[in-house]
A and B are shown apart, each in its own frame.
Chain A
């Protein structure tokens, strides 16, 4: 069994709790001093940093939300001066306004360590050649995987995403042994490699895939097509990026690095903390992050925590694959999409007169998400002119693409044909489950 850092990864539960308690108190004190939003929420609850004496008091602390990142955009939640921030990452503004997070040099080191722990545990060494096909840029995927591989001294191919034929040629020519990307892209690369007839020339052994939901069935298919073992990595930029939780060689849940993060599951309606093992909304508290600390951050992901011993020897709690979301966010081809974004586009196209009824239909064909948007025709949109209607359809398609970053097929349909239940149109029909 390989560990990057066996002392931290395998410390006893009691030691871990003691370490967490110490770090939590420190994190709360620092955040109280430096982050106005957190201080205000503490004051509203009549809490002082000194009231938090350890992990057992975690439940007293106020929650934080995605909305906070928008309300305090861009730097209002940073806990260090900008001179200490060495990197920014941002999400593309999936709910209208984008969010930005910052990292100090220590934060980047910690991030690299989190990813490197996973890689080391899976047997990645300095001998390996790691192809990072996650997007590089404001998205955390590319740089996150990159830093972990570099920390191990592996050879990194920072190819980023896209240009599939070139990706496969690179894999073959450079002898990549590890692949990091989204699972749907891995699937696509596997199919293309098959089509190009170069499967035999691939040297891949390990795949690290994340940033979108995928199933066991899809895992098996990817493993078969690319000839590797596929592992899941979890993260979100608000908390860190990929590497907050990682699968080990057991492929049975993702270890949350508990010396850096505390995971809780809560009842999303009442906020009440659930016993470990029960399904609820995942909530994270960062313990060591400097630039952008989070306290009880509501991820909106639904999962359960597994405290049982893992055969890999790591003591850190595991989280199950998220089984859903508490909000209406959809993940389509790895991109976060909110129905409200589609509403905004339709409203804009109608000249801010009306929001027509619409329905999002998702399916999975050949392991790729299909994304259709049905829009009910109305008198406000209708014209006697065929070209005008075709132009309308094109206009909606183009605006959706520029707003969401992915393409949708737009269909104009008869009014009142979108199924309604209790008078409310069913906005999303997701036929993907079971087809992953």
Chain B
């Protein structure tokens, strides 16, 4: 359930976002999910890719500030209330969500939730106990 995410620093310029996408494409790294957080001054691009280690390396080689971070990736039903179950479990366990983003897989028809929490191992354990599944990335271009 814990998976590797690439976090990339972006000064607020469109060209830099292109440079990241371009570098990954050239190196045949597939982006499965992404989210862009931005402030007035800068942005953080968060990516789930098929080869995170290689992704980090090729981006760093381009002088891009990048870091591998752990996030939770789990599956949910693509239906009203689909995300609610996992969020409720986390809330009831007193685990704070720092950020999250979600995508729907083409093939499985399931939603994938990427969740950042403070205490990752504890959150993973609790979610497993409540029967939440490992994210199924099938349909994300594999």
Contacts and interface: CB of A to CB of B under 8 A. Distances in A.
Contacts of B63: 414-416
A416 B7 CA distance: 18
A384 B5 CA distance: 10
B21 to A, nearest CB: 15
Contacts of B37: 386
A378 interface: yes
A4 interface: no
A384 B65 contact: no
A377 B98 contact: no
Contacts of B116: 384
Contact of A417 (B5, B11, B44, B46): B11
B101 interface: no
In this complex, the interface size class of chain B, counting residues with CB under 8 Å from chain A, is 20 to 34
Question: Which of A378, A385, A411 has most B Cβ within 10 Å?
Answer: A385
A384 B69 contact: yes
Interface string B12-54: 0100100000000000000000000101011010100000000
Contact of B44 (A384, A411, A416): A384
B10 to A, nearest CB: 7
B65 A379 contact: yes
Interface in A397-433: 411-417
Contact of A412 (B42, B66, B69): B42
Contacts of B16: 414
B39 A386 contact: yes
A188 B42 CA distance: 33
B9 interface: yes
Contact of A384 (B7, B42, B64): B7
A389 interface: yes
Contacts of A416: 63
Nearest to B60: A379
B7 A411 contact: no
A413 B39 CA distance: 13
A411 B5 CA distance: 26
Given A390-B39, A412-B41, A415-B63, A384 B11 contact: no
A413 B42 CA distance: 8
A81 B64 CA distance: 61
8 contacts: A382-B7, A382-B9, A382-B65, A382-B67, A414-B63, A414-B64, A416-B63, A417-B11
